[in-house]
Structure 1
Amino acid sequence: MTDNQLNDWRAKALQFEQQINGIVIGQPSVIRNIVLAVFARGHVLLEGQVGVGKTTLLRAIAHGLGGDYQRVEGTIDLMPADLVYYTYLDEAGKPRVDPGPLLKQGSRLATFFFNEINRARPQVHSLLLRAMAERSINAFNRDYEFPHMQVFADRNRVEKEETFELPAAAKDRFMFEIGMTTPTDDTVLDELMFNQRFHDVDRLVAGMETGGIAYYELNDLAVMLQENIQGTPKLRAYALALWKASHYPQDYGIELTDVDMSALLQAGASPRGMSYFIRAAKVRAWLEGRDALLPEDLQAVYPVTMAHRIFLSPMYAYRKDELMPELINGILNQIAAP
């Protein structure tokens, strides 16, 4: 792929981002991170209240990319087999078995949305882990491939009844954890309340232009991006220090109020997280029109890539919402950029 082709793709990506910003208003940082994940080919965990536009956002993503879209509702009684097939009686009263949401579209499946993933049982998470890691599952004594599938999962933190905490292995499969909150700008809120355009989601999404980006070309594009965007030795050393600080923040002079830093962490970000971190930063550099990484690329994606991979010790876990942002900011502020 030539530089001109990469520039053409960049123009398409920015247009894609602009279109989504016209459908889901007041969420520019969320949409930018989603676009980064799309072109870095990483799965995304969305966290937000009900009704903030998560489903509308993902429908717009799916519509813009083409391919097929499936959605699953996480419930306490959902079983792994429910993702693979479902059984029913046909009009003649005979039992039937039809493909479930993972198999229904076959290799055309591009966007898979798991709503309220924390309401599903750990057994369901296990099946999803394989689908996310290998983009394939085994069913009916054969393997089914989903080469273009990207998983977006939503976690509702408001209601805790009948929920299961995601295991570390499941969290680590997601490139990003993105928080999506209600917009606070009065102009945006006025539009959402009184502009009829935003009251009919089906019509809103259907009005989005499609065909500019082909989902089946994204894997090859992602490989080319990673090969074309490079960093200097000093930049690479800076990235390594940011990752190490997620394990040993005290070694970098990072301190938090009323915290014993040597006892703060149970585990830091995984090597997989380090890989995702660099992949996402390279895509950001490309979207900014550069062929080289800069510190601001790393800093922009560090919170959404690393925060859900850092695990606090039990004595501090109850303060996670307070301490994690402080820790992330401390790392970014304390470690000098080249």
Structure 2
Amino acid sequence: MMTDAELIQWRANALRFEQQINQCVIGLQTAVRQLVIAVFARGHVLLEGQVGVGKTTLLRAVAQGLGGHFERIEGTIDLMPADLIYYTYLDENGRPRVDPGPLLKKGERLSTFFFNEINRARPQVHSLLLRAMAERSVNAFNRDYAMPHFQVFADRNRVEKEETFELPAAAKDRFMMEIRIDRPDDDALLDQLMFDPRFHDTDRLIAGVESGGMAYDRLNDVAETVQIKIQTSPKLRQYALDLWKATQNPGEYGIQLADADMKQLLLSGASPRGMSYLIRAAKIRAWLEGRDYVLPEDVQAVFAVCTQHRLFINPVYGYRKEQLVPQLAAAILQHVATP
């Protein structure tokens, strides 16, 4: 476990890391903070947004700052599970060769794995990825390969629905957070993005982030130390428990949504794993804010991104899912008494 002095230095590093990313992608401060929290909570992240809103640039900036090795794969309809493990080709002598795929190529040095348009990949691919995410290892060629620093960042285009596969509940639950990236609506920000040449060259923009400034191979130790040192009071624990119960039976907490039968609205609320992720994320936020204890505002700040993708709506209300889930998450925070 790290000393208090080391943890203070790491907090300074984390805030500098956050500042550098905010210089690459403007107008996404909330999403950047959520990503930084996920990095130090060692949780996988699912990004959702329209085309061209900065998802890839954001993740490239994160990978640049973390150091280690970065791998990326494109989700396609014909992608097979084996494509994550190895690829075959003919060498210059016309002989067949097998080389490691993106999950194995960098071995234990793999730090950031970006799965672009994950919903275009088949469920079989999702299944293999789930094991890698859960166990940070993969089995291939009759042996297990450990990836102790491996963190998945996947994105999903919510506009195009053709040739896509909805992520199953088990897959969604492996992601600590689902972060929505929306296009900016501030005229000043749009003016910068359109006319400032600095934002036209993505490679040069990413190069401005200090490479490897985060010592990726020590992040697990930092995360473990923060989880031990940041305290939660009995009242805070009860508050978190009440939030979890409200995701299971919102009607019992007086929550009502327009034109929705609260007894039939939910098929399933947040899982125990999801609430564990919520507390881990809240502790990291408290640490970033310079405290050694969690406040309700820490939990509230990460509640939506840690729980919304774990609230599964009855198919009867499927056509209103994009509207009802955020409303339900907001109503839970509003109706559950804050200590």
Length-normalised TM-score, structure 1: 0.99
Q: Does 2:302 correspond to 1:301? A: yes
Q: Is the 8 A contact 2:90 2:97 kept in 1?
A: yes
| Percent pairwise identity | 71
2:142: which partner in 1?
141
Alpha-carbon distance between aligned partners in 1 of 2:109 and 2:96, rounded to the nearest angstrom? 27
Alpha-carbon distance between aligned partners in 2 of 1:42 and 1:211, rounded to the nearest angstrom? 19
Residue identity in the other structure for 1:162: E
2:231: which partner in 1?
230
Question: Offset of 1:196 from its aligned partner?
Answer: 1.1
Alpha-carbon distance between aligned partners in 1 of 2:308 and 2:208, rounded to the nearest angstrom? 36
Alpha-carbon distance between aligned partners in 2 of 1:306 and 1:210, rounded to the nearest angstrom? 32
Superposed, which structure 2 residues align to 1:95-134 within 5 Å?
95-134=96-135
Question: Offset of 1:209 from its aligned partner?
Answer: 1.7
Question: Offset of 1:190 from its aligned partner?
Answer: 1.1
1:20: which partner in 2?
21
Residue identity in the other structure for 1:82: D
Alpha-carbon distance between aligned partners in 2 of 1:271 and 1:318, rounded to the nearest angstrom? 27
Question: Offset of 1:184 from its aligned partner?
Answer: 1.2
Q: Does 2:169 correspond to 1:168? A: yes
Structure 1 unaligned segments of length 5 or more: list them. Answer: none
Secondary structure at 1:143 match in 2: strand
Question: Offset of 1:2 from its aligned partner?
Answer: 2.1
Secondary structure at 1:110 match in 2: strand
Q: Is the 8 A contact 2:67 2:213 kept in 1?
A: no
1:316: which partner in 2?
317
Residue identity in the other structure for 1:182: R
Alpha-carbon distance between aligned partners in 2 of 1:181 and 1:263, rounded to the nearest angstrom? 30
1:150: which partner in 2?
151
Q: Does 2:12 correspond to 1:5? A: no
Question: Offset of 1:207 from its aligned partner?
Answer: 2.1
Secondary structure at 1:263 match in 2: coil
Secondary structure at 2:71 match in 1: strand
Residue identity in the other structure for 2:219: L
Length-normalised TM-score, structure 2: 0.98
Question: Offset of 1:193 from its aligned partner?
Answer: 1.0
2:252: which partner in 1?
251
1:281: which partner in 2?
282
Question: Offset of 1:131 from its aligned partner?
Answer: 0.5
1:93: which partner in 2?
94
2:189: which partner in 1?
188
Question: Offset of 1:211 from its aligned partner?
Answer: 3.6
Q: Does 2:329 correspond to 1:328? A: yes
Secondary structure at 1:269 match in 2: coil
1:167-208: CA deviations, max 9, x gaps? 100000000000001111111111111111111111111122
Question: Offset of 1:325 from its aligned partner?
Answer: 1.3
Secondary structure at 1:177 match in 2: strand
Structure 2 unaligned segments of length 5 or more: list them. Answer: none
Question: Offset of 1:316 from its aligned partner?
Answer: 1.4
Q: Is the 8 A contact 2:243 2:333 kept in 1?
A: yes
Alpha-carbon distance between aligned partners in 1 of 2:107 and 2:322, rounded to the nearest angstrom? 39
4+ residue runs over 6 A deviation: none
Q: Give the aligned length.
A: 338
Alpha-carbon distance between aligned partners in 1 of 2:162 and 2:228, rounded to the nearest angstrom? 46
Structure 1 range deviating more: 318-327 or 109-118? 318-327
Alpha-carbon distance between aligned partners in 1 of 2:271 and 2:336, rounded to the nearest angstrom? 19
Secondary structure at 1:70 match in 2: strand
Question: Offset of 1:289 from its aligned partner?
Answer: 0.5
1:223-279: CA deviations, max 9, x gaps? 000001111111110010001100000111111111111111100111100110000
1:84-111: CA deviations, max 9, x gaps? 1111111111111111111111111100
Q: Does 2:57 correspond to 1:56? A: yes
Root mean square deviation of aligned Cα: 0.8
Residue identity in the other structure for 1:39: F
Question: Offset of 1:7 from its aligned partner?
Answer: 1.2
Structure 1 range deviating more: 313-322 or 69-78? 313-322
1:36-56: CA deviations, max 9, x gaps? 000000000000111111111
Secondary structure at 1:125 match in 2: helix
Secondary structure at 1:319 match in 2: helix
Secondary structure at 1:261 match in 2: coil
Q: Is the 8 A contact 2:69 2:110 kept in 1?
A: yes
2:34: which partner in 1?
33
